Chains A and B, each alone.
Chain A
Amino acid sequence: MNAPFFKFGLFGDDVSLIVAFVIGIGFGFFLERAGFGSGRKLAAQFYFTDLTVFKVMFTAIITAMVGLFWLSWVGLVDLSLVYVTPTYIVPQVVGGLILGVGFVVGGYCPGTSCVAAATGKLDAFVYLGGIIVGIFVFGEVFPLVAGFYESTPMGQVTVPQHLGMPYGIMVFLVVLTAVGGFAGASWIEKKMATKVKES
């Protein structure tokens, strides 16, 4: 049997909701244990004093990437069934910037705000309220921004496909970037720590 199981119809919508619930709880638990339920810790990465978030996220990315690559290579995962979000390059860059600014200002990203709210943090509740208002406003003004929302479409495309490079080289480049990033992050953390002490 190959994964992904839902797409293969191994279980239906009902069971998939239960599976999603279990995975969601697990994801939230580990985010909390990693310290991601604290807005201070999350915001600290933007001041280069604590780059845990960067390291955890990048670790997750390369683990999933290398895992999917090799599992698919041995035939346990059918990569062609893994959903690729369609790319709309300009609106997605703008959306990313908005999310990033919100991250710096609010101290959470949407997922971690839920985690923080689960542990009763007040700022997380305010953040969640903001999300809900934002969703509502976006829904109301959507007809006005629909043209932009669907501009510069590139379809369901991956970086190696777009550049015509072998998949494995992309994997290796991302791994190199990550390992280099981890080393750099540790170095900059130490540097900032002494700076904070001096001042």
Chain B
Amino acid sequence: MKFSLNNLTINQKLALIIGSLGFLAVFAGSPYKGFTSTIDSEELATIVEKEVDHVPPEELAGWIITGKADYRLIDLRKESEFLEYHIPTAENIQLPSISDGQLNRTEKIILYSDGGIHSAQAWFLLKANGYKGVYILRGGLEDWKDKILFPRLPDNAPPTEVAAFEKAKLVSTFFGGSPQIGGAAASGVPAMALPKLEAPAGVQPKAGAAKKKKEGC
């Protein structure tokens, strides 16, 4: 009997189709490569313009104090610098390995480096790779030091600033910093020494990305 497609039952035809699709898959390469992201320059420009991608250090400090855990804080500096000091709960990932898959495209990611340049570059890399929630710590670690660790109350400050400084003092102490009044340290602590690396009391360092997700069947 001659082989003809018409002689096959519907099941055999379906098996043939799925079999060939499966066979071709062997030569198709990785399916992950098929995804290419497009860069919407206008959208990115608007984000940059309106600074909605910035997280002020005060806000981040608040999140750490209240133990918020819906974000990942990424330190982009060298490992030695990271080991010397980093913001509590931060993870160290350098720029070259930023899109290696350690981060999830759907996570809220907050980047920081010394100033703002490295984080801005990493921000663009991630955005271009389709990561959705990428933010930059405004002013980087420098602003973190200025505003959170060593807030300074200028001499002859107006009362509103003094009141704000009282709050900043508490935050600063929480993170092991030393508030500065005028030129000198406010509380006998040696001025401007970076705090030791133990997490401040009350902060549970996040265990990696061990965030439980309730998904599946």
A binds B: yes
A66, B21: Cβ atoms closer than 8 Å: yes
Determine how close the nearest CB of chain B comes to the CB of A189; give it in whole angstroms: 13
B132, A9: Cβ atoms closer than 8 Å: yes
B11, A70: Cβ atoms closer than 8 Å: no
The residues of B that contact A164 with a CB separation of less than 8 Å are none
A72, B25: Cβ atoms closer than 8 Å: no
**Chain B residues with a Cβ closer than 8 Å to the other chain, count:** 29
Determine how close the nearest CB of chain A comes to the CB of B80; give it in whole angstroms: 28
**Interface range on chain A (Cβ under 8 Å from partner):** 20 to 34
Contact of B25 among A7, A69, A77, A80 (CB under 8 A): A69
Interface residue? B215 (CB, 8 A): yes
Pick the most buried of A75, A111, A176: most chain B CB atoms within 10 A of its CB: A75
The residues of A that contact B23 with a CB separation of less than 8 Å are 172, 175
The residues of B that contact A2 with a CB separation of less than 8 Å are 35
Q: Which residues of A contact B (CB under 8 A)?
A: 2, 7-9, 62-63, 66, 68-70, 72-75, 77-81, 83, 85, 111, 166-169, 171-172, 174-176, 178-179, 182
Q: Which residues of B contact A (CB under 8 A)?
A: 11, 15, 18-19, 21-36, 101, 105-106, 130, 132, 213, 215-217
New A-B pairs, 10, CB < 8 Å, besides A74-B34, A78-B130, A80-B32: A81-B106, A111-B217, A166-B26, A166-B29, A166-B30, A167-B25, A167-B31, A168-B25, A168-B26, A168-B28
